[in-house]
Each structure stands twice: as C-alpha cells, then as structure tokens.
Structure 1
Amino acid sequence: MEAKKMRIVFMGTPEFAVPSLRALVEAGYRVVAVVTAPDKPAGRGRKLHESEVKIAARELGLPVLQPEKLKAPEFVDALRALQPDLGIVIAFRMLPEVVWKLPRYGTFNLHASLLPQYRGAAPINWALINGDTKSGVTTFLLNHEIDKGAILDRIEVPILPEDNAGTLYDRLMRIGSGLVTRTVDRIAAGETHPLPQEPTDDSDLRPAPKIFKEDCRIDWTWKGDRILHFIRGLSPYPAAWTPMFRQSTESGSAKIFSARFEAYTHAAKTGTVESDNRTYIRVACADGWITIDELQIAGKKRMQVRDLLLGLRDINDYTF
C-alpha cells in the first residue's frame, strides 16, 4: 500500500507528540483524525486548557476526538467509521485492545528510549539521572503490556555532557518525528520485521517510573557526580530541589537547575553552604563541593547565582 494513502489515526497529548503530527501532515500523509485528552481546568482561573496536540491539530485543520473513556462504544464506533489503516500513539494513555487492534496494520508507539530499557513514563529523566551516555527513540507495535510490544525501528542518540532533560527532550522530539514517518513508510512497503522484546531478567533493565516531587529532593550525602546527574536529569522540569535550614529550622526551599562539581579542597559537613556573597554559592557533598550556577529560591524568580546574591547577603547562615 502507498504510505501517503494510508488512513492514519494519530493519538497524543503533550508537546512531545506535536512535531511528529506536523511532520506527517506537512509531508502529505493522510491523517484522518487526531485523538487527544479532554480539555481540563488549569491555572488560577480554572479555565479549560487544551492539549498541545489539540492546538496543533486545529491549526492543521484536522478533526479531533477527545474521549473521556477509550472503551466507550460511541468512541470505538467513531474510530471504526474512520476505517483507519494505521494508528500512531505518542505520549498518550494506555489503549484498550479494541482500539489498538482496530487499524488494518495495527498501532505503533514512539517511545523516548532504546527499548527494552527505560519502559515507563519518564525515560528521558531517568537516563540522565543514571548517568547514561546514550539514549534514543524507538517505534514498537502495541500489545497488552505497557512498552513491551515488538520493536519496529530505532535511532540511537548520544547524551552530551552539557545535556539536561530539556535539551535531550527537544532533540529526541525532533529526531522522533523523522522516525515516525520512516516507520510509516516501512510498514506501507512491507519492509518492517517486528523484533519481539525477549523476556529478560528485570534486574538487567532500568525502569522509568513517573517522577513525583519527593523523588526530586537532593541528598547531599551523595557523591558529587551522582548529584550532578540528578540535577541534569530533572532540569528544567520538574527540577531537583533542597530544603533550606537556618539555625536548624527549615525556612524555605530552592530548586537547582545547573551546577558544577569540584573535589574537596577542605572537608565540610554535607549540606554546608559557602559563598563569597558576590559570585558563587557552593554546597558540601560526600566528596567535594557542588557549585550552583542557576537556582530558584521559593518565592523568587529563577536566576543566575550572581544575580541572586545582589539581593541576598545572608546565604552563609543557611544549610541545605
């Protein structure tokens, strides 16, 4: 079948899915509908918030479906009426079998890791937190288990020393859009050879579970390299953070977005803060100092340390 005649249903919600949707439409592929999350109240005014995919779909003139329940008969009937040849899923909910089996050629997912490693909701963050030197994107066929379907294609991407979660996200998002169109072409041409993800000992795999606020707290008893990987893997969002103590009383917190490590010139209790009150703030860890470059103290803007110190003269009174 000719790739650009395939009737494609695209399913996704966040920004990560948008370049792939645009790449398909701009290259002339036939996207017959977009499925995304229902609008939800957000912000102080609780105004309805549309997903990034919905906004892009509207700009591209595509019909949008926003089912509350993916098993709802009216939604399944609407999909069936579209007579889809192929389903594409990027950063969406787990699909029921009745949905992912419906397209003639099945449904594939784009995942931001080199499967089977980093199955789960936050593969980009965890690859950096764990200090990996490579990542990538993988397309795979959906089945009954999350992120365990047969692999169709993949692209490996180096993790650069200066990368954080934001820069790696942007790069994988862009590269992933090319992998999506390449996968569609190969499916249409009958050139895919799905490779089952063989059963493995789970101890050989690194998971990528959803990250919550308490997971982002820095432990200053860790070694410096581990702390730097942790900060990079959570920057700019959701951001690594630390409580701030003054005279042993907790008095706020700070998010840390970038930092450097230097081995000890003199030992200090972990969490000790040192500063010249003009150019640097550093915090003692297990084997040296974490010099902070950019942070955000609760109630203040995110800023460079030099700018923060213009209005904060008592940082040496704190511990982290």
Structure 2
Amino acid sequence: MRLIFAGSPAVAVPSLRALIAADHEVAAVLTREDSPQGRRRVLTPTPVAVAAEESDIRVIRANRLDDAVAQQIAALEPELGVIVAYGGLLREPLLSTPPLGWINLHFSLLPRWRGAAPVQRAIMAGDEITGATVFRLVEELDAGDVYGHFSQRIGSHETAGHLLDSLADGGAELLAGVVSALAEGTARAEPQRGDVTLAPKLRLADGLVDFAQHSSTVLSRIRGVTPEPGAFALLQGERFKIHQAAPAREHAPLAPGVLENRDGRVIVGTGDEPIELLEVQAAGKRAMLAAEWWRGRPASAPAAFDVDGAAVGS
C-alpha cells in the first residue's frame, strides 16, 4: 500500500515505524512545522519528522493544510492516508485525495472521548477502561466508521503520559493490521455505537487542583494532567506544581488544602480523605521529593494552599 502518513508528537512514532516495518510504502510524512523548544527556544523538528528523516522519507511541514499542501500530497498519488495525532483538522479536498480516503488512530474507545485530549479526560473522569480505535476519517470530529479497536484497564496510579505511551504501542499494532487488511481488501468498518462524550484540549487552568473535592477526584485530576499541562495549586499566590501524589487513608482527615508533616510525609487535606504529596516543585525551584521540600521551607511559611486568593485555614 502506498501511504501518506500525518503525525507530529512522539506517540505517533510507533505507528509510523510499524507501517514501515510492514513493508508499506510511505511516500511522505505530513507533520507540524519546526517549533521553538526549551528555555533557549531552539527551533526543533517534531518527533515524527525526525523518525521520517531517519528512514529517508520525504517530510512535508505544514501547520495549515491549504491548497498548496493538498496539491503536494495529490502529486504523490497515495492510495491511503493515515493520521495519528497530527495536530490539525483535515478537510476537503484533502480528505478525498487518496482513493481509499484516510484512517485515524484515536486513543479512546469511540464514541467516548472524541477530541484532542481523550487519554487525559478519561483519567480525569475516573474511567477504569480505555483503549484505542482506528476509524475512517470524516469531516465531523472523530465520527467515522470503526475498522478496529482494543481496550485496556487504566492503572490506579497511571498518569496520562504513561497511559498514552502504552496506548501508542498497542495502537501501532492495531493500525498496521487495519492497513494490511485494507490492502488485502478484507477490512470492514462499522458505525460507532454508544453515547458521545467530548475531550477538548486541556488548558493551563485545567491543571489547578481543587482540594475541596473528594480525594479520588483530586488524584484523578493530578494523574490526568501529568505531564501536560501539569497539576498545580497556589501557595502564597505562586504556582506550586504537584508531579506525584497518592492516597493517605490511614491518616486522620484535614481541612481541604491544609498541609501537615506526619512522620516525614507531607499530607494535604481534601473534601474527604487526605492525600500524600510525593513529588513537588515550588516556584523557581527544581522538582523534588515532597519531604525534601518540606524540610527546606521556612518554619513560618503558611501550611496551607490558597483558595480564591487567600490561604485556606487562615
């Protein structure tokens, strides 16, 4: 099968490599333009661009899929388009350019969690099961007929980053199988069934932790926004990042947002049971164990996170 592959982040790389390993001809890769990264804002290619160039595959860099991009792709005469986390919407005439259209690997069990952040939203909602789906791309968001899917449990301590890496590997195998079935003419697609839920892109504000909620909800949010956009609370008006936390059910309750050091463990209150902070990052500091941060803080510092601009418990 002669393919055009569209993808950008690291989670799309396993799929590209699986298609290459299956001896499909990847005529070109469509990816986002190089962007400034790191403190020095060094112009950096996408992980998919790097992987494509390592395999001597032509790279088309575009943030806007205009007529010029559509003409470049049409000139390559692909039989099928494959998209995995490209970072933009494909519309006509590009959708109809390959004779077999486009298929999309999406990291959820569609129609649950259509949109840009399905893994993060699934964890934040407390879902126990998720998966990946390969479907036919249509103009309506993530609404096309399904060629195949797989499901897996969400680990109780699994972050969005860890889960996405796992789904990317399993999804690559699923995707390669669907492409091979399309090449053989044996693939069959079925309409999506079930209730539709949406997974809009996360904003920085989605990482703000509300300690008045139940501990399970607080922990699900922390895991769901890790590593991006990252969980945080406000401490003396400054962002205090929370990289890792865990239940602390054996400890007596605390008022929401109140911090205590109990036997060398940093405990914070929620709407029901307290949780333990494991790894944190104060403003202007490096990431560190919560116990290490507590030992280094001034004894007079407030022992509570801010709520609506004021320290809780003050």
Paired residue secondary structure (2:274): strand
Deviation at residue 315 of structure 1 after TM alignment: 7.8
Q: In 2, distance between residues paired with 1:106 and 1:303?
A: 48
Note the alpha carbon deviations across 1:13-54, whole angstroms, 9 max, x for none: 111111111111133211111111122334444432211111
1:54-76 per-position Cα deviation (integer Å, ceiling 9, x unaligned): 1111111101112353132x322
Aligned pairs for 1:190-269 within 5 A: 190-197=185-192, 204-245=195-236, 250=237, 252-263=238-249, 266-269=252-255
Alpha-carbon distance, 1:105 to partner: 1.2
Describe the SS at the equivalent of 1:16.
helix
Q: In 1, are the aligned partners of 2:28 and 2:58 still within 8 Å (CA)?
A: yes
Whole-angstrom CA distance in 2 between matches of 1:218 and 1:82: 48
Q: Aligned partner of 1:88: which letter?
A: V
User: Which residue of structure 2 aligns with residue 164 of structure 1?
Assistant: 159
Which deviates the most, 257-266 or 204-213? 257-266
| Percentage identity across paired residues of the two chains | 34
3-state SS, counterpart of residue 319 of structure 1: coil
Aligned residue number for residue 67 of structure 1: 62
The amino acid that maps onto 2:297 is L
Q: Specify the SS of the correspondent of 1:317.
A: coil
> Which of 55, 80, 92 lines up with 1:86 in the alignment?
80
Question: Could you say what secondary structure the match of 2:3 adopts?
Answer: strand
The match for 2:142 is 147
Report how far residue 208 of structure 1 moved: 0.9
- Whether the 8 Å CA contact 2:248–2:267 is kept in 1: the answer is no
For structure 1, which segment, 18-27 or 214-223, has the greater mean C-alpha deviation from structure 2 after superposition? 18-27
CA contact (8 A) 1:38 1:68 kept: yes
Q: How many residues align?
A: 304
The residue aligned with 2:257 is 271
**Aligned counterpart, 1:108:** 103
Partner-residue secondary structure (3-state), 1:25:
helix
The CA distance in 2 between the partners of 1:68 and 1:238, in whole Å, is 21
CA–CA distance in 2 between the matches of 1:163 and 1:315? 35
TM-score, with structure 2 as normaliser: 0.91
Q: Which runs of 5+ in 2 are unaligned?
A: 306-314
Q: What CA distance in whole angstroms lies between the structure 1 residues aligned with 2:59 and 2:104?
A: 19
1:176 to 164, 171, 179: 171
Equivalent-residue separation in structure 2 for 1:188 and 1:14 (angstroms)? 26
Look up the match of 1:294: 279
Confirm or deny: 8 A CA contact 1:275 1:315 kept in the other structure. no
What TM-score does the superposition give when structure 1 sets the normalisation length? 0.89
One of 259, 265, 268 as aligned partner of 1:283 = 268
Q: Deviations over 1:126-158 (max 9, x none)?
A: 111111111111000011111011111101111
